[in-house]
Each structure stands twice: as C-alpha cells, then as structure tokens.
Structure 1
Amino acid sequence: MSALRRFAVASLTGVSAVAVVASLAPAAAVSAPPPEPRVEAPAITNLQQATQALQGMTLEEKIGQMFVLFAYGPDAARPDARNTALYGVATPAEVVAKYKPGGWIYFNARDNVTNPTQLATYSNQLQTAATSTGQRIPLTIATDQEQGVVVRIGPPATQFGGNMAHGASRSTADARTAAGITGRELKAMGIRQDYAPVADVNVNALNPVIGVRSFSSDPELVSDMTVAQVQGYQKDAGIMATAKHFPGHGDTRDDSHTSLPTINHTLQEWNTIDAPPFKAAIKAGIDSIMTAHIVVPSLDPSGDPATLSKPILTGVLRNQLGFKGLIITDALEMAAVRAKYGDAEVAVRAIEAGADQILLPPAPDVQFNAVVNAVKSGRISERQINESLLRILLMKLKNGVLFQPFVDPAKIPSVVGTPASLAAAQKIVDKSITLVKNNNSTLPLSNTPRKVLVTGWGVATTASLGASLTNRGATTTVAQTGAAPTDAAIADAVAKAQVNDVTVVLTQKAWDTTVTDKLAKQQKLVNDLLATGKTVIVVAVRDPYDIAYFDDAPTYVATYGYQGVSMESLAKVLYGEIAPTGKLPVDIPVAGQPTTPLYQFGHGLTW
C-alpha cells in the first residue's frame, strides 16, 4: 500500500498521525537527499524526533502548518515596520515564532532578495527560528521562479526565456533541463518548492495575466511541457513542483490580481482545453497544485472562485482527477478572492473547499483565528485538518525538509549561475527566437559596420541588446522609451532613427487595450519609425501578439522574454550567427478579431 493510501486510510479510521508518519520511514529514507554541511544542526534529524514532535501538536500548531507567510526584509533578525503593521511583530524570526507556519515565500519586490548567498543565509536563519519554537518543524520555503517574465531571483542565478519560449522551441528535453537547473539552484538557496510550472493553456490573446507565462495555446503541447518540467524539478532537482492555476486561467481578459475573472468554457471545453495539462501533471506525480481565483460556472454555478469552491477542489481535483498531493491557494491577498467574502470567511472557505495551505493571507491574525474558531465550533472537522497536516508532512518527508532543512552558503558559487548552466541556458533560449516576418529579406544583417539605434521598451532590456550589438561591431545608440512613450520620446527616437542605418524597436504588450496610453503610444512609436523609410526591425520582447497592431512592419521577431539571455539570442539571429528555429506556440489573431488568425500556430521563418 502506498504512503498516501496509508495516510488516507488512517485518517478515515482514526489512526494517530504518529503511526502514519512512522509508516513512511522506508520512503523517507529512500528519497531524503544526501547529507550536506549544516550551518546549525536542525531540531528534527530523524523520524523518531519527527513523530515525537507531532505527538504533542496543538490545534493552533496544526493550523499554523497550513499557512504560507512572508516577511519584509532580507534578514530574519532585522526589524521592519511593515512586518509590525502586518503581523504585530517586527522581525521575520518573530513572525515564524508567533505563527509557526508550515511554509514561507520569498519576493524580490518585498526586499527579500539581495543575492543567492544572502538567500541561503536567510533560509538558514528562518529554519533556525522554525526549529527553535513549538514542535520545531522546519519550513518549506518557496518562491515563484517561473523564469521568463516572472522571476524572483535574478542574476547571478541562471535565467531562461520562460514557458512560451520553451513552447516555441518545442523541446521537452530543454524544458526539463531548465527546470532541473532552476530547481538545483533554488535548493542550494534553501528553497524547496517552486510555484511552477504554469499549466494554463493561453487560448486568449488578450489575457493580461498569463500570456507568455503559458507554454502554448495547444493543450497537448502544454501538457508535454508541464510533465517535462515536473520531472526536472522533482526528479532531477529534488524539490517540489507546483502546477498552476487550477482549474485553468488561460481564457480570460481579466487579471485576478485586481478583479474576479469568469471562464465561460463549457464542461466539454474545459475537459478539452484546460484539464489535460493538470491531468498530465497528476499522472507524472506532481507534488502540489495551486488554485485559481476564477469563476468557472460549468464546474460550479455558485459564483464562488475556484479557490473557495468545494465542488472544484474536492469534487473535481481530488475526487475526479484523483490528486493526492498538496492543494495550495493562490495568494489570498489578491482582489479576486476577496471580492465576495471578508478575509476571515475567505480563509475558512478555502479550507472547507479542500485547500491544504493558504498562501499570503492579508489579515494573518484574523484569518488564523477564524480557522481555529471554525474547527473549535465544528464547522471544519479536526480530521480534515489532520489530513491536510499529513499531506504537508508527507511532502516535507519526501523532499528532505524535515531531515535536511539547512544549506551551506559556501556552496552557492559551485551551484548557482555556473558557466555550464549559463551556457546551457543560452543554447536553450537560442532555439526559441521566432522570425515571424522578413518581407524585405532584412535579416540576417551582414557583418558590415553600421550604426544601430535600439529603442522601445525596457531600460535593462534595451541596454542589454545594445551591448550585444556593440560586441558584434555595431555603433549602437540606445534610446529607451518605456511602455507608454511620451510624444517627446517618440520624436527623439524618430530623429535618432533618421541618422542611423538600422533601428531595432522593442515592444512589450503593445496590444494591451486595458491601458489605452500604452496601446496608443507603443503603436505610435513603431508606426512613426516605420514612416521614416529607414530599416526598422520590430521585436516583441514579451507576448508575440503585438504585430497585429502594426502589421505593416516588414520585419518582426518574437523573443517571448526580455532577460539578457533572450537579448543575446536575438542578437545572434539578427547577425545570422544562428538561424531562427522557433515556431509560434500560439495563433496571433487579427486585431479586434480574436478568432481570425493573422499568423497561425506553428508559423516561423528561417534561412
């Protein structure tokens, strides 16, 4: 009988948590990683200590394991007034001591990330706090390192082009390699769970929140790539993968960070489009799945978002699809999940629906106490809490968190951003660049010395491309104009284009009709540059859909990402060092006609 089956039977028959944990000993011994030097010995180093700790867990400690929190700042001992405002205590270590959470998440935007060595030290500090309080259970530390446009840890960590870039290359082997490298680097920093891969099928070109975070608009391609990355994270790197966002966030024009989207797929459409990647991930043994704050009437007509829907999380994900791993909510601080109920009710309903862990509660005290009170009142059974706790424990056992929570910061240079990893990343991204139009045979450029203007979106991106072109002998001028360029910036770029031989203009979501100025101004920039009559190469550095809004451009390239690695691959294609081999992983529709393809899935030119 499998470990998961044993814990399910035990939950139903009232067998103690201790007995179930003990039954996991052989599996835990096999899957635990080899010993690594520790900065400080963990409080739990063997199965006996783990079971003894669990024996004395209070209800509050069990519920604490169901919370995934964060704190502001890069040091567990450093006070921050923002932490005091949110949690009532000032330091990350005090947050751990107060709530005894089961999980933790890092954000670069919340001042957590300085560099990989700092993160390894920070992880050790947090684990010291976790293993010095209460039942001394180590944290599962996580982050969103999707690669491409969603990256929490930048260079020197190895960067890749992201999911749609993998979809453009069609290489599942490369997708797995990328996940393996990313996972090993995260593990060296003490991060044992990546909230990746995105398993959404992006069938809506106007999707403001998924886009290039998806592998493709084709369910089969998304399924294949998802499985490859699950294998890379879990089998090759030994960390937890998390498929998101169930039941599928790929067909919406609303952003769940700011509003509550509705997916109006029929049940047949859901089974055909959205479900296959999640089914494939479950078959591949995915450790965790993240919920989506979306309404799917065909799965639950109540109007509740999936995160709060028992018919979706328990009925579909658990019972129909047979998922036995962890269900974690998307961030509860997002507007979509807070729109219908108060914060306290949201936390309770998420657990009632079947979630094992709730991520980023915006009112931690209120939501923690609401869950405790719901159990004490009988609204949520303690048996359900125990079942979630055992799933959480099972994953900590499987991934070595209980036995090896500490990492060695001195190992970071030998694991993170190594020359071999960087070279592998570059080769992988090289295969993704897609030449959509080349009407005047502008590309490849000759090696003749020339003056090149790099303009358009992205301070770091335009500078990176400029440097790559300069390295190839071009006399390069960089004039970054931003997402919504001013008339003065457009006029300046046009003037500079007049005195340069070639202009490369970078666009970033120029299709985005939710921001009128952005749409109009990026289009105006490109069209005014084209009107000069000079050689202009248009490059979409995020979503490939931009060309629908300036199809008069004779030369158009899609990179699917704007990191330095993608700009280096672009430069190689521009100068003919490599031939473009990427194929569109989505249809590009005609502007204003979402069902009429302008360029079809699979299109891609080369030489």
Structure 2
Amino acid sequence: MSALRRFAIASLATATVGALVPAVAVSAPPPEARKPQPISTLQQATQAIKGMSLEDKIGQMFVLFAYGPDANQPDARNTALYGVATPAEVVAKYHPGGWIYFNARDNVQNPTQLATYSNQLQTAAVKQGLHLPLTIATDQEQGVVVRIGPPATQFGGNMAHGATRNTADARTAAGITGRELKAMGIREDYAPVADVNVNALNPVIGVRSFSSDPKLVSDMVVAQVQGYQNDAGIAATAKHFPGHGDTVDDSHTALPTINHTREQWETIDAPSFKAAIKAGIDSIMTAHIVVPSLDPSGDPATLSKPILTGVLRGELGFKGLIVTDALEMAAVRAKYGDAEVAVRAIEAGADQVLLPPAPDVQFKAVLDAVKSGRISERRIDESLLRILLMKIKNGVLFQPFVDPAKIATTVGTPASLATAQKIVDKSITLVKNNNSTLPLSKTPRNILVTGWGVSTTQSLANSLTARGATTTVAQTGAAPTDAAIADAVTKAQANDVTVVLTQKAWDTKVTDKLAKQQKLVKDLLATGKTVIVVAVRDPYDIAYFDDAPTYLATYGYAAVSMESLAKVLYGEIAPTGKLPVDIPVAGQPQTPLYPFGYGLSW
C-alpha cells in the first residue's frame, strides 16, 4: 500500500473502511483503491508526506484541464499545450491535485458523459504511483455562469437569490447543485461568489454577486456554504478574495484596481469572506486585482503575500485551501510573465495554481524555485497537507468513482426541477408598471418577443404560447444592427404587445455595440404600442431608458427564469422580488434611481 493511501486512511482515523468504490463500466478501479486498510497515527501521515517526491508534491498544487469529452480521446490542442494528446496522459505526466471542467472547451456533453469522464480521469490518477485521486471542480455558480446546462437543474443565480432575501432557498439550491455535481464525479464547486457588487458598471461580477449589501451577501454566502458542504458533501469555494465587487475593468483582459480604503474594505468587502470562514468554507479563490490599501506594491492579490498570508491567513484566520483564479487571465500575467507568476503565487500563500497557461514552464519554475531554496519544501508541504485534508473531508480518497447509472435518479429530477422553479418564482422584480399594463389578462393576444438571446427569447415565447398567446420571435442579439432594429419595430407595430429582453444594455464602454440595445428599446417605445422591457441579466439597464413604462428584472436568462417571468406577466404569481442593489441614475453612480429594496407588486 502506498504511503499516501496510508495517510488518507490515517486522517479518517478509525475503523476499517470497506469496499467503498463502486464498479463502473468505464474501468475497474485498482485493487488498492477498493480495499484500504485501517491506520490512524499522525506519524504515519507525516511519513506519507515525507515519502513523496518533490515533483509529486508540486503536481498536487496544479489544477489543470484538457480539451475534449473523453479522457482517452486524443486532441491536438492538448498536444500543443501539454505535449501529450489525451487527458489521461496529462494526468499521468503531471500528477495534478485538481482538475476543472469547462463547457467551452468541449468537456461537457451531458451528465452521464461527465460521470464517465470523471471515472476515466480518476482511473488515470490512481494508476500512478501515488494512488491519489483528483479533486475535480467546475464553475457551477448558477445563473449566468454555468458549465453544465440542462438536464442538470438550473437556478436563477446569486442576484436572483438576493432579490428573494430567502437564505433557506439559497441553501436548498446549493444543496441540489452540489449533489448533482457529486453524482458526476465533481467534488468542488468554485462557488459561491462572495463579492459585494457596489459598482453598477462592474463588467465581470454584476449578477454573479448576491447584492450590494454586505450583510445580505454574507448571509447568502453562509447559506450556500452550508448547502454545498453540509448538505451535498462537496467543497465550496468563496471568490474572489479580497473582493472584486467595485471595479470597472474585467480581470480576464485587464488588471483592475480597487481603491477602497482599509476602512471601506473592512465594511464592504471583508464581511462576506469572514462569514464564509466562520461557516467553515473549505476553499477561497484569489482575485487578480490590485488593492493598494492592503498592499501598496501594485501586485495583484493573487501574487501578494501581504494579502494572502498577511490578511487572509493572519488577520482573518483562514486555515483552508487557497486556490488562485485562472493564471491564464491577462490581469495576472502581464507584470512578471508566466514562469514567475506561478512561483510568486505560491510565495504569496496560494496552495493551488489554477489553469497555468504554460504548464511545463510553470511546473519547472516552481520546481527550480524549491531546488534553489527560494521556496522551502516545508512551504510546499504546508499546501500539500491542506490539499490532502480537503480530499479526505470530501471522501474522494475513498470514493473517487461514481456510478453513471445513478445519474437519472439524481440529476435534474422532477422534484429538483419543481423546487428550482418555486425558488426562481420568488425572484422576479417589478420595477415599473406605470400604465398598469401588468398583469396581462387571459385574453388571447399577439405578442412579439424580441431583444437579446436566441434560446432566451424562444424560451419566453414558449412559456407565453403555453398561456394562449400567439407569439413571434425576433432575436436581435447583444449588438442589434439597424436592420434588426427596424425589423423588430415593424413586427411590434403588427402585434398587440412587445416584450423586449435586454442584457447589459447599460454597458456603454462599447458604445458602438451594446448601446444599440438602448436604441432598440427606444425605437420600440416610439411605436406607441404596449412594450414591456425586461432586463434578463443586470437590473441596471432601466437607467438608460427610464421612459419605459413597464420594466422587470429577472437576474438570469435560463428557461427557468423565463417561465417565472411568464407567470408574473400573466398574473399567475405576484412579483415578490426586491432589488438587491441600487439602480443608479445613468452617469451618476452615487444617485439612486431605484433604491435597494425597491419592488412593486399587486
């Protein structure tokens, strides 16, 4: 039996662990993964860590991905990135401690496929000398950031929860999401977002945040930590420390600076992370942002020892695992270059580096830093212990494999879908209803559904059709052309009611494109016909066409949110959501147009 296998069993501390790994069709788990023996001394755990090679230890600090939906399927993109063709070969080469799935990188087809893929990856991991399974993760925040769509259960997202003020529902949603992920072999969700969105022009957080109110964000974060960890038994990850809620730059493409004073940080950004830590959060993700009041060096938090070791570890007392945000993002790469970034993140206090864009270069850089004495091996061992403890807590060391046959009874069940619908029903917020347009009567009518979102406009049309409307869909996109706008106007004139969906129509940083959504709405209003404007992402859009007499916010654009919207439009349910943020006057960020807590009903 390997030293790490003994370490795993030692840390669980007691009686014999039986054959916990189910046989699955994809591959038979190795015998040592099925029949661990009891062992329970701290000395043996210490010896296990000491028995690992330096290369194996460093491998555990990397969280990687690969292209394709099958661990044994070659892909030229993997060869270009890693020098090997299949995901299984990537695992064999690096012995990574973590793995992440992306729908945009061809990983995700359906839940059963993901369960099989997870088993393939774990088979590759336990075949290695370490016999150490991966912690497989993904970003299933719900709402606008999901990696696994239907038939997995979809919810409205964080700001939709904030609009309900219902922490019990937020916990329930996290529990359902977590159990579904676990059934697919995913043991960590990079959620919840703990950022407090106090900037209406924030291009990267927005509705991913629960609210602009630190207390509401804190309460919701705690509820979701409990849902993921206590109810579902997977790791939760609060992000993005020390707080990404007040920026006008997207850290995927630029390095944002947040100029909160220390006092502002303490009152706005810190409370939600403190609450997560108190609730026992397993992991916290760093932000690629500069916060001069916490570290005047100009380094992003991901590379800042004063922030990660000084503030997060020292002041806040966090003892769990620190994982970086993706190192492939532009914000963290520019100042020092790829090789140096991984080393500096570990020096700063990070335990795992996520998505290194030059894996060979960065792995070697960390290895050389330890061999040269720049980073002590003891420092590596500290991170390794946290990584292993999280694997033990979530059971992946003993049950790395899942049964794909059980997906149908766990993922997207009728009960979960019904629960999700009831939760989202509570979130729809009616901001304006000046002409008492809503609720619509049951009278048959012709309705045009236009604006943003191919699937979103069609989902709403389907829900309206089910209620007796004759619907026409004219999807115009995020940057409608003049021809598309003219076509929508013509169709609006031929229909009784128009519902126009907007998505970040406030974003005037790219005036030539997204401001065209504002023109679409204004031209539709000019027809004199009944027009209902619905923001299906950030609720701030109304500031740019406040002459719209009827305006609602859904905070999300999945089919579940469109069904809730249809229920409100037809008066089947009353709108009960309350704004979880201020909507400021356009160009006047400190002047509320509609304040936090505002919301109409009937």
Q: Common fold, TM-score beyond 0.5?
A: yes
- 2:574 corresponds to which residue? 579
1:454 corresponds to 2:449? yes
Q: 3-state SS of the aligned residue for 1:429?
A: helix
Q: 3-state SS of the aligned residue for 1:514?
A: helix
Q: CA 1:438–1:36 in structure 2 vs 1: closer, same or farther (change >3 Å)? A: farther
Provide the rounded CA distance (Å) in 2 between the counterparts of 1:197 and 1:34.
33
Task: Using the TM superposition, give the Cα deviation of residue 516 of structure 1 relative to its aligned residue in structure 2, in angstroms.
Answer: 1.1
Provide the rounded CA distance (Å) in 2 between the counterparts of 1:317 and 1:202.
20
Provide the rounded CA distance (Å) in 2 between the counterparts of 1:430 and 1:463.
19
Provide the rounded CA distance (Å) in 2 between the counterparts of 1:456 and 1:17.
55
Q: How many residues align?
A: 590
1:594 corresponds to 2:582? no
- 1:188 corresponds to which residue? 183
Provide the rounded CA distance (Å) in 2 between the counterparts of 1:34 and 1:289.
32
Provide the rounded CA distance (Å) in 2 between the counterparts of 1:35 and 1:47.
12
Q: 3-state SS of the aligned residue for 2:85?
A: coil
Q: 3-state SS of the aligned residue for 1:24?
A: helix
1:78 corresponds to 2:73? yes
Provide the rounded CA distance (Å) in 2 between the counterparts of 1:147 and 1:33.
36
String of CA shifts for 1:402-458, please: whole Å, max 9, x gaps: 000000000000000000000000000000000000000000000000000000000
Question: Which of residues 81, 89, 95 in structure 1 aligns to 2:90?
Answer: 95
Provide the rounded CA distance (Å) in 2 between the counterparts of 1:34 and 1:296.
49
Q: How does 1:427-466 map to 2 (within 5 A)?
A: 427-466=422-461
- 2:29 corresponds to which residue? 41
1:24 corresponds to 2:11? yes
Provide the rounded CA distance (Å) in 2 between the counterparts of 1:383 and 1:54.
10
Provide the rounded CA distance (Å) in 1 between the counterparts of 2:236 and 2:205.
18
Q: CA 1:584–1:248 in structure 2 vs 1: closer, same or farther (change >3 Å)? A: same
Question: Which of residues 461, 486, 509 in structure 1 aligns to 2:481?
Answer: 486
Q: 3-state SS of the aligned residue for 1:205?
A: coil
Query: Is residue 343–residue 369 contact of structure 2 (8 Å, CA) maintained in 1?
Result: yes
- Code of the residue aligned with 1:38 in structure 2: it is A
Query: Is residue 68–residue 105 contact of structure 2 (8 Å, CA) maintained in 1?
Result: yes
Query: Is residue 100–residue 134 contact of structure 1 (8 Å, CA) maintained in 2?
Result: no
1:177 corresponds to 2:172? yes
Provide the rounded CA distance (Å) in 2 between the counterparts of 1:435 and 1:485.
25
Query: Is residue 53–residue 135 contact of structure 1 (8 Å, CA) maintained in 2?
Result: no
- 2:213 corresponds to which residue? 218
Query: Is residue 507–residue 539 contact of structure 1 (8 Å, CA) maintained in 2?
Result: yes
Query: Is residue 204–residue 251 contact of structure 1 (8 Å, CA) maintained in 2?
Result: yes
Q: How does 1:60-459 map to 2 (within 5 A)?
A: 60-459=55-454
- Code of the residue aligned with 1:162 in structure 2: it is G
Query: Is residue 33–residue 400 contact of structure 1 (8 Å, CA) maintained in 2?
Result: no
Task: Using the TM superposition, give the Cα deviation of residue 57 of structure 1 relative to its aligned residue in structure 2, in angstroms.
Answer: 1.3
Task: Using the TM superposition, give the Cα deviation of residue 41 of structure 1 relative to its aligned residue in structure 2, in angstroms.
Answer: 2.7
Identity in percent: 85
String of CA shifts for 1:58-94, please: whole Å, max 9, x gaps: 0000000000000000000100000000000000000
- 2:544 corresponds to which residue? 549
- 1:532 corresponds to which residue? 527
Provide the rounded CA distance (Å) in 2 between the counterparts of 1:76 and 1:124.
9
Task: Using the TM superposition, give the Cα deviation of residue 515 of structure 1 relative to its aligned residue in structure 2, in angstroms.
Answer: 1.5
Provide the rounded CA distance (Å) in 1 between the counterparts of 2:23 and 2:274.
38
- Code of the residue aligned with 1:470 in structure 2: it is T
Provide the rounded CA distance (Å) in 2 between the counterparts of 1:453 and 1:532.
13
String of CA shifts for 1:96-130, please: whole Å, max 9, x gaps: 00000000000000000000000000000000000
Query: Is residue 4–residue 48 contact of structure 2 (8 Å, CA) maintained in 1?
Result: no
TM-score, reference length from structure 2: 0.96
Provide the rounded CA distance (Å) in 2 between the counterparts of 1:68 and 1:197.
19
- Code of the residue aligned with 2:396 in structure 1: it is V
String of CA shifts for 1:556-597, please: whole Å, max 9, x gaps: 000000000000000000000000000000000000000000
Q: CA 1:33–1:204 in structure 2 vs 1: closer, same or farther (change >3 Å)? A: farther
Task: Using the TM superposition, give the Cα deviation of residue 37 of structure 1 relative to its aligned residue in structure 2, in angstroms.
Answer: 2.5
Q: CA 1:29–1:521 in structure 2 vs 1: closer, same or farther (change >3 Å)? A: farther
- Gaps of at least 5 residues in structure 1 are 1-15
TM-score, reference length from structure 1: 0.95
String of CA shifts for 1:216-275, please: whole Å, max 9, x gaps: 000000000000000000000000000000000000000000000000000000000000
Q: 3-state SS of the aligned residue for 1:422?
A: helix
Task: Using the TM superposition, give the Cα deviation of residue 22 of structure 1 relative to its aligned residue in structure 2, in angstroms.
Answer: 6.6
- 1:7 corresponds to which residue? none
Query: Is residue 17–residue 55 contact of structure 1 (8 Å, CA) maintained in 2?
Result: no
Q: CA 1:202–1:142 in structure 2 vs 1: closer, same or farther (change >3 Å)? A: same
- 1:521 corresponds to which residue? 516
Provide the rounded CA distance (Å) in 2 between the counterparts of 1:292 and 1:120.
30
- Gaps of at least 5 residues in structure 2 are none
Q: Which moved more, 1:36-45 or 1:361-370?
A: 36-45
Query: Is residue 510–residue 518 contact of structure 1 (8 Å, CA) maintained in 2?
Result: no
Task: Using the TM superposition, give the Cα deviation of residue 36 of structure 1 relative to its aligned residue in structure 2, in angstroms.
Answer: 5.8
- 1:3 corresponds to which residue? none
Query: Is residue 512–residue 518 contact of structure 1 (8 Å, CA) maintained in 2?
Result: no
Query: Is residue 456–residue 482 contact of structure 1 (8 Å, CA) maintained in 2?
Result: yes
Q: CA 1:358–1:401 in structure 2 vs 1: closer, same or farther (change >3 Å)? A: same
Provide the rounded CA distance (Å) in 2 between the counterparts of 1:33 and 1:544.
52
Task: Using the TM superposition, give the Cα deviation of residue 518 of structure 1 relative to its aligned residue in structure 2, in angstroms.
Answer: 2.9
Task: Using the TM superposition, give the Cα deviation of residue 133 of structure 1 relative to its aligned residue in structure 2, in angstroms.
Answer: 1.2
Provide the rounded CA distance (Å) in 2 between the counterparts of 1:202 and 1:251.
6
Provide the rounded CA distance (Å) in 2 between the counterparts of 1:398 and 1:117.
25
